[in-house]
Amino acid sequence: MDLKPRADLVPNTRAYEEIPLVKPTGFREYDARWLFGSEINLLGVRLLGMGLGTMLHERGVRPEIVVGHDYRSYSSSIKQALIAGLLASGCTVHDIGLAMTPMAYFAQFDLDVPAVAMVTASHNDNGWTGVKMGMQRPLTFGPDEMGALRDIVMEGRVTLRPGGELKLVPDMAERYMADLSDRPKLTRKLKVVAACGNGTAGAFAPEVLRRIGCEVVELDCTLDHSFPRYNPNPEDMKMLHALAEAVTETGADIGLGFDGDGDRCGVVDNKGRELFADKVGVMLARDLSALHPGATFVVDVKSTGLFLTDPVLRENGAKVDYWKTGHSHIKRRCAEISALAGFEKSGHYFFNPPVGRGYDDGLVSAIAICDMLERNPSKSMAELREALPQTWGSPTMSPHCPDEKKYEIVDRVTRHYQRLAADSGQIAGLPIRELVTVNGVRVTLADGTWGLVRASSNKPELVVVCESPESEDMMKAMFKNIDLHLSDYPEVGEYNQKI
């Protein structure tokens, strides 16, 4: 069999059954993601496993790896193909079965295994598949590792070795849930709606929340890989609206929504209001910095400006570092600067000891939120939210843009705003105060209003977010300026949602 892949194969042909199909754009900044069938086939997945095993050997990493899969109709078969490739490359594979992504990360620690490969497309629509990988716990691959793996796979530079071994770990789910619930039960009686969008978290999240002492109302927790109601994505307003409705109907204290692979958590307060995850991050940072004065927090460039201006965080001596969006980027940055926690607007939260092990886990985040409510027994989630200074923020908006074009477009947008700032240009009658270009371009005006344009790391899309501490009109004016500029590029298509 030819081990050098092609990107132009089509199903129902002889070549498709004999040659690996791997589209190189599937190797993204920190995850690997493809449309299964049209961008990667099972032979391509097997080659990916061979390439990953080859990379572990070449980097001097002990060739042992944890592998799991999410609840999609095709994920188990993809995992088996990946395992076949890893075994052929001489790796010992610990198969933990059906799992959430953070369960695979936990297994690295629990089994003392250095590497991980979790088969999941996270919150992407059905049809997508992917693999989240790492070889230095609790970190996952970033651009350097993904680029090296891409080159090995696309050039067919794999080395096959004897000695591969498969070890089945049938009890990892129970070990994971026991670890999370090995703690004092909550004394505050919390009624929680747990929404899982029929994704993998439905098998685990309600049970863990019950074990720590919550009364749980289940919403779409029955596993169904057709995702009949909505895609399990706590940034999707359809999921948040359903969660808000359930909170209002049941009189719950809080609603917690988990994404398809369980590493993110979205929140609805007791009044049925959807809370953007970055604002919840500010609330958690307030709570944790009171316990750990002077703590450092890492936040992504999509997140609210309150992390810098909030008076409580300032009083607690909290230090804040804005960094690149993406779970691998934030995890690595938290480790580099010894941050207590990291927060992304998408709902990825990262807690280092003593709260967590450094990786993103939607259930660890949910428990941290419950603990915050426990430490504030006289206040509701709504009251904690209302205690924050007011800002007006947009949802995360994602206009379509081809993978092959999106980074070039963002570079051109960045240059546009750099020229505008250099020429003392104005937006909505205000000058530009600051440009942050660590990840796309974040344009901040004199009054603190800001707008961000960056390339999505896992889909053929751009990402647009806006916020103003002054008014909803200023937030919308910022978006209008960005949207008008993006309309100059024919490569930029329709948004998933607009304000």
pLDDT in tens, 102-142: 999 999 999 999 999 999 998 888 999 999 999 999 999 99
Whether the CB-CB separation of 169 and 97 falls below 8 Å is answered with yes
In the block, tokens 């620690």 appear at: 109
Q: Which of 349, 367, 387 is the last residue in one of the domains?
A: 387
- The DSSP bridge pattern shows strands 115-119 and 165-168 to be unpaired
Looking at the structure, do residues 293 and 441 belong to the same domain, yes or no? no
Same domain, 23 and 63: yes
Task: Work out the percent of the chain whose per-residue pLDDT is above 90.
Answer: 94
Evaluate if residue 418 carries a pLDDT over 70: yes
Look at residues 130, 149, 171 and tell me which one is the last residue of a structural domain.
171
Residue 271 located in a structural domain: yes
CA nearest neighbour of 143 among 31, 23, 301 = 31
Looking at residue 6, what is its pLDDT?
A: 96
Tell me: the pLDDT tens digits for 258-309?
Answer: 999 999 999 999 999 999 899 999 999 999 999 999 999 999 999 999 999 9
329 and 429 co-located in one domain:
no
233-252, pLDDT tens digit by residue?
A: 998 889 999 999 999 999 99
Q: Does 236 share its domain with 374?
A: yes
| Nearest alpha carbon to residue 123 among 238, 45, 15 | 238
122 has catalytic annotation: yes
The pLDDT tens digits for 360-416 are: 999 999 999 999 999 999 999 999 999 999 999 998 899 999 999 999 999 999 999
In this structure, the number of other CB atoms found within 10 A of the CB of residue 278 comes to: 25
Question: Domain for residue 198, yes or no?
Answer: yes
What pLDDT was estimated at residue 459? 85
Within a domain: 499: no
Same domain, 82 and 188: no
Kindly state whether residues 204 and 281 are assigned to the same domain.
Answer: yes
C-alpha dihedral sign at 387, 389, 393, 396 = negative
Segment 212-228 shows an average pLDDT of 97
The answer on 24 and 100 residing in a single domain is: yes
Task: Please report whether residue 274 resides in a domain.
Answer: yes
Q: Where does the pLDDT of residue 1 fall: very low under 50, low under 70, confident under 90, or very high at 90 and above?
A: low
Q: How far is CA 184 from CA 139, 212, 345, 350, 371, in A?
A: 29, 7, 30, 22, 11
Shared-domain flag, residues 119 and 151:
yes
Number of domains in the chain: 3
For residue range 5-59, what is the model confidence (pLDDT) as tens digits? 999 999 999 999 999 999 999 999 899 999 999 999 999 999 999 999 999 999 9
CATH of the domain at 155: 3.40.120.10
Q: Which of 122, 303, 365, 398 is catalytic?
A: 122
Task: Write down which residue in 141, 171, 201 finishes a domain.
Answer: 171
Residues 438, 399 share a domain: yes
Per the prediction, the chain carries an average pLDDT of 96
Residue 195 lies in a domain: yes
pLDDT-derived band at 91 (thresholds 50, 70, 90) equals very high
Q: Is residue 165 part of a domain?
A: yes
Instruction: State whether 196 and 106 are in the same domain.
Output: no
> Pick from 385, 386, 393: which is nearest to 369 by CA?
385
pLDDT the model gives residue 237: 86
- Collapsing DSSP to helix, strand or coil, 208 comes out as helix
Whether residue 192 sits in one domain with residue 163: no
CATH of the domain at 440: 3.30.310.50
Per-residue confidence at 497, pLDDT binned at 50, 70, 90?
Answer: confident
Beta-carbon contacts of residue 115 (< 8 Å; ≥ 6 apart): 52, 56, 61, 62, 63, 64, 65, 66, 108, 133, 134, 135
Task: Check if the beta carbon of residue 30 is closer than 8 Å to that of residue 327.
Answer: yes
Q: In the predicted model, what is the mean pLDDT of residues 74-91?
A: 98
Question: Is position 258 within any domain?
Answer: yes
* Structural domain for 449, as ranges: 393-486
| Residues 326 and 415 occupy one common structural domain | no
Higher-pLDDT residue of 235, 163: 163
In a domain, 142, yes or no: yes
In 279-335, DSSP assigns E strands to 296-300, 319-323
Report the pLDDT averaged over residues 80-106: 98
